[in-house]
Amino acid sequence: MAMKSTVLKAELQISDMNRHYYETHSLTLAQHPSETEERMMVRVVAFALHASERLAFTRGISTEDEPDIWDKDLTDHITVWVDLGQPDDKRIRKACGRADAVYIYTYQPRNAGPWWAKSAETLERFDKLSVISIDTVSSTALGDLCDRNMALTCTIQDDAIYLSSDRGEVELRVVALKSAAGL
């Protein structure tokens, strides 16, 4: 019998000084059985970095033709495509063909470093693509914030992200490995 996803609820209060975006979002997240708590919390962080009225989590890991997070306009056109990890260039090419802006967030330095070293030259041709590394030196602390019902506060300023709950606080750093043309 297949294991079912775990449904989590989060009240996410965002203070993004970079974009002057201050809002609270009530989120419902489905954590796939194969998804770690760290990855699930990186999804929350990526959501906070792109938060808007229409931004939404998709069906997730088990769906090949959808990103982890997307923003669609009223005509159902994908304006923002957000993936986590180290997708292959075929998936990235497909994303760049379907969306106005594509963001990839890497978060596991041991895996992301070699992936970026191997892929950087190939990925330079994608004008709509931005690749961002999230420094998770305290990755276990990020996973420790995960709970079935979370009240999270996320403050974003410059290249720092502060995520906190009643379970603790984590400081993350973001580094742009590649920025989309025009950004």
State pLDDT tens for residues 77-119: 999 999 999 999 999 999 999 999 999 999 887 888 899 999 9
Domain residue extents for the chain: 40-178
For residue 110, give the 3-state DSSP assignment.
helix
The backbone torsions φ and ψ at residue 117, rounded to the nearest 5 degrees and listed phi first, read -60, -40
| Residues 9, 30: Cα–Cα separation, whole Å | 9
Locate the DSSP E strands across 1-124. 6-16, 21-31, 55-57, 69-72, 78-84, 99-106
The residue with tokens 């002057």 is: 20
What residue ranges of the chain have pLDDT lower than 70?
1-3, 60-63, 136-140, 182-183
Architecture of the domain whose range is 40-178: Roll (3.10)
Write down the pLDDT at residue 181.
75
Residue 101 and residue 147 in contact, taking contact as beta carbons nearer than 8 Å: no
The residue with tokens 């967030």 is: 105
Write down the pLDDT at residue 120.
92
